Amino acid sequence: MSKKHFLHQIFKLENFNSEELVLILNQFEEIEFQKNEYLIEKGKTANYYYFLESGFLRSYTIDTEGNDITTKFFSTNEIVIDWHSYFLKKPCKESIQALTKGKCWKISFGDFMKLFHIEAFREVGRTRLINNYFELKNHSISVIADQAKDRYLNLIKEKPSIIQNVPLKHIATYLGITDTSLSRIRKEITL
């Protein structure tokens, strides 16, 4: 998929004039990543955000007992960002790691700010930020208020590609359960 084609899915031609669209597309750089590669590392400042064209990534942190806990999954057409670090220039509190090989389009903070005068560009960013917030909030509440089986069924419904492409150990920590509990839930569902 070409740069023009992929980014047109995000920056739709009907929302921008041709001059704005050329300016926007020229600020993005295509990068490919390998499985286990880091796009953002804990303790460092995020200088880029990414639109994911292909592949799967996860954000994770290490809890107080040294356990690796997945906090979010990223799949095709999603924005990959540590909002706090990117905009406030603070060290990241989690890492974002590739679960598969893939491709994305990155933009630096400086290039992002060059585009901020374009109203439709700001609207795309605002919409994605709000959607990201609601997804995070819903997940946080679900981990507290929903049964583990319901959380798993909701993940299957909302993001079936994650279930098919991500190791179960990461899915388990994301759902706030053990690998054993996830195996039991999966057996119950298939019976």
If asked whether residues 117 and 40 sit together in one domain, one would say yes
If asked whether residues 109 and 39 sit together in one domain, one would say yes
Measured in degrees and rounded to the nearest 5, phi and psi for residue 138 equal: -60, -40
If asked whether residues 117 and 188 sit together in one domain, one would say no
If asked whether residues 125 and 156 sit together in one domain, one would say no
If asked whether residues 106 and 152 sit together in one domain, one would say no
If asked whether residues 88 and 177 sit together in one domain, one would say no
If asked whether residues 39 and 79 sit together in one domain, one would say yes
If asked whether residues 155 and 109 sit together in one domain, one would say no
Mind listing the pLDDT tens digit of every residue in the chain (191 residues)? 455 578 887 887 678 888 888 899 999 999 999 999 999 999 999 999 999 999 999 999 999 999 999 999 999 989 999 988 999 999 999 999 999 999 999 999 999 999 988 988 888 888 888 988 898 898 889 889 999 999 999 999 999 999 999 999 999 999 999 999 999 999 988 86
End-to-end alpha carbon distance in the chain? 40
Q: Which domain holds residue 170?
A: 146-191
- Cβ atoms within 10 Å of 81's Cβ, excluding its own: 23
pTM of the model: 0.88
